[in-house]
Amino acid sequence: MEKCPTRTISRRSVVPLIAAGIAAPFVMRSASAQSVWPEQTTVPDILKGSGEVRVANWGGASHEAEHKAIFEPFEKATGIKVRAFPGMSTAKLKAMVDTGNVEWDVAQTGPAGREPLLKIGDYFEKIDYSLIDDGVDRQYRSEYGVGLWVWAQVMAYRTDAFKGAAPSGWADFWDIDKFPGGRAMFGMGPDYPELEFALMAAGVPADKLYPLDINKALASYDKIKKSVVKWWQTGAQPTQLLTDREVTMTTVWNGRMEALEAQGVPAKISWGQGLAKQDGWVIPKGAKNKTNAMKLIAYSTMPIPQARLSLAINYGPVNDAAFKYIPPERRAVLPSAPENKLQMVPYNYRWWSDNHDAAIAKFNEWLLG
């Protein structure tokens, strides 16, 4: 288990400060619905400052969401300038720390990027949890990183394919007779195979998955291999396969499904037995603006910035208090909404960090066999 430092600022003390700063809301039109955008103009004095903070993030749609929901209002509320560097790379972060030329103060990566570096060296500053709002759930806290949002790897299916029947778990995904049609799955090459799904299809209970039985997972894959028409490698592929009717069911990253709804494609997510994953922040060791970095992280995990982020992109908040500001129709598509979260399995990043190479080698050998 990752360490969870003690919190010294409670949600009761922080939320009133934030709520007091809500101004007249304005309307933001998201891909799924028209939602009220909670505005915040006041933050605790401890987060105010001067100078700058340099942030490396993934770019693309997530950068646009972060800019609107976090970076821009953070600048206005604190007086600290945000300089964003889209194109985060753990290899680049490692090289910066190794050479002592650290150009970033905050980097966006979750446990998947953080854990391997923690195993080989001292690459991150510790998180100051005295600044983090109490509403941030324990599972998104670690000594060297804190969550920003929750996303999910789930099943998606065409709703017009099975005469009204709806698959609800991986046993259904594996059942070609009851749910006919092609399948698509993730994990080819250097990517992480979906061993958890194969094991749950074989009847392994969700709470007994880890440590993963790789051989049992491969035996389960044997039963569906001929029906997998595509082992996808990019996030756009599974949604395109559904749109083109090349498959009736696929695994998918939940964030990709909103576009299908906007296009009117008859497709839906099944949250049952999905993998709940997370993305977050780290502070590279030797960051030049460490204090401002921590202030930005603290701000981004407060309830209102979290709510704004989930209105801008369909990833779930790590701060449960954010749901007070998220309309029900938006909440329904967010992985960390309690009704969805309860159906999913927390992804065990530590197991994958320890067993990554062996698992991928065995899976690729099976796939090519």
pLDDT tens for each residue of 262-311 = 899 999 999 999 999 999 999 999 999 999 999 999 999 999 999 999 99
CB 220 within 8 A of CB 198: yes
State the fold for domain 152-276+348-368: D-Maltodextrin-Binding Protein; domain 2 (3.40.190)
CATH 3.40.190.10 residue spans of the chain = 11-150+278-346, 152-276+348-368
Phi-psi region of 181 (alpha: psi -120 to 50; beta: other; left: phi over 0): left
In the structure encoding, which two tokens stand for residue 123, read together? 């690459």
Per-residue pLDDT tens digits of the chain, which is 369 residues long: 333 333 333 333 333 333 322 222 222 334 334 457 888 768 999 999 999 999 999 998 889 999 999 999 999 999 999 999 999 999 999 999 999 999 999 999 999 999 999 999 999 999 999 999 999 999 999 999 999 999 999 999 999 999 989 999 999 999 999 999 999 999 887 788 999 999 999 999 999 999 999 999 999 999 999 999 999 998 889 999 999 999 999 999 998 898 888 899 999 999 999 999 999 999 999 999 999 999 999 999 999 999 999 999 999 999 999 999 999 999 999 999 999 999 999 999 999 999 999 999 999 999 998
| Bridge partner list, 56 | 85, 107
> Rounded distance, CA 263 to CA 255, Å?
15
> To 10 degrees, what angle do helices 290-300 and 303-312 make?
70
Provide the percentage of residues in the chain whose pLDDT is more than 70. 90
Q: What is the DSSP letter of 6?
A: P
**Predicted model pTM:** 0.85
Q: What's domain 11-150+278-346's architecture? A: 3-Layer(aba) Sandwich (3.40)
CB 301 within 8 A of CB 321: no
* Residue 239 φ/ψ, nearest 5 degrees: -70, -35
